[in-house]
């Protein structure tokens, strides 16, 4: 399926190529309708579809895209080594537990990988802030997609 461009796999970012190859891969689909047709779920997984849409957009703009797992086991959706940027995708940041989870992953990631900036894509724009000395922008996914 990957050779026919129906799906794309995303490797874990690691300095060791061996660890990159044996780590679980994230899978993104070229057509979200296809994933809906062949996938199984009890409820719509809009968060995964949103992440898939962001991946497809990043794939057009960046040569290298990875996901990153911190030493504490928290996952950052995308790491762009060329731009030294972390990208988190979430439906919204209104719920305190969601906000805390997304920020905890970013905070731990900026300590363990070289980063110049971070981006959180959600349902609305918010004021930017600094996290451990790294500027973090919070943008509406819709606006971000339109400006790409």
CATH of the domain at 128: 3.40.1350
This prediction's pTM: 0.88
In a domain, 103, yes or no: yes
The confidence band for 18, taking pLDDT boundaries of 50, 70 and 90, is confident
In a domain, 10, yes or no: no
Q: Tell me the average pLDDT of the chain.
A: 89
**Residue range(s) defining the domain that contains residue 58:** 46-146
Q: How far apart are CA 114 and CA 56, in angstroms?
A: 24
In a domain, 29, yes or no: no
Q: Give the whole-number percent of the chain exceeding pLDDT 90.
A: 62
Domain count for the chain = 1
In a domain, 41, yes or no: no
Name, in order, each residue with C-beta under 8 angstroms of 133's C-beta and a sequence gap of 6 or more.
110
H/E stretch holding 144 reads helix 141-146
The pLDDT tens digits for 26-72 are 989 888 777 666 665 555 677 788 999 999 999 999 999 999 999 99
The pLDDT tens digits for 102-112 are 999 999 999 99
For residue 62, the model assigns a pLDDT of 92
In a domain, 108, yes or no: yes
In a domain, 14, yes or no: no
For residue 16, the model assigns a pLDDT of 85
- DSSP lists the bridge partners of residue 118 as 86, 136
In a domain, 132, yes or no: yes
In a domain, 32, yes or no: no
């Amino acid at each position: 399926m990957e050779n026919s461009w129906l799906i794309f796999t995303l490797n874990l970012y690691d300095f060791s190529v061996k660890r990159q190859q044996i780590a679980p891969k994230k899978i993104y689909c070229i057509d979200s309708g296809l994933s809906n047709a062949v996938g199984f779920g009890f409820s719509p997984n809009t968060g995964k579809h949103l992440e898939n849409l962001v991946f497809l957009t990043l794939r057009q703009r960046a040569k290298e895209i990875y996901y990153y797992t911190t030493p504490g086991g928290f996952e950052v959706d995308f790491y762009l080594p060329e731009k030294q940027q972390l990208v988190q995708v979430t439906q919204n940041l209104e719920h305190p537990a969601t906000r805390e989870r997304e920020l905890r992953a970013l905070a731990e990631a900026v300590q363990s990988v070289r980063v110049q900036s971070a981006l959180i894509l959600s349902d609305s724009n918010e004021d930017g802030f600094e996290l451990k000395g790294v500027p973090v922008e919070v943008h509406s996914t819709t606006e971000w997609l339109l400006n790409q």
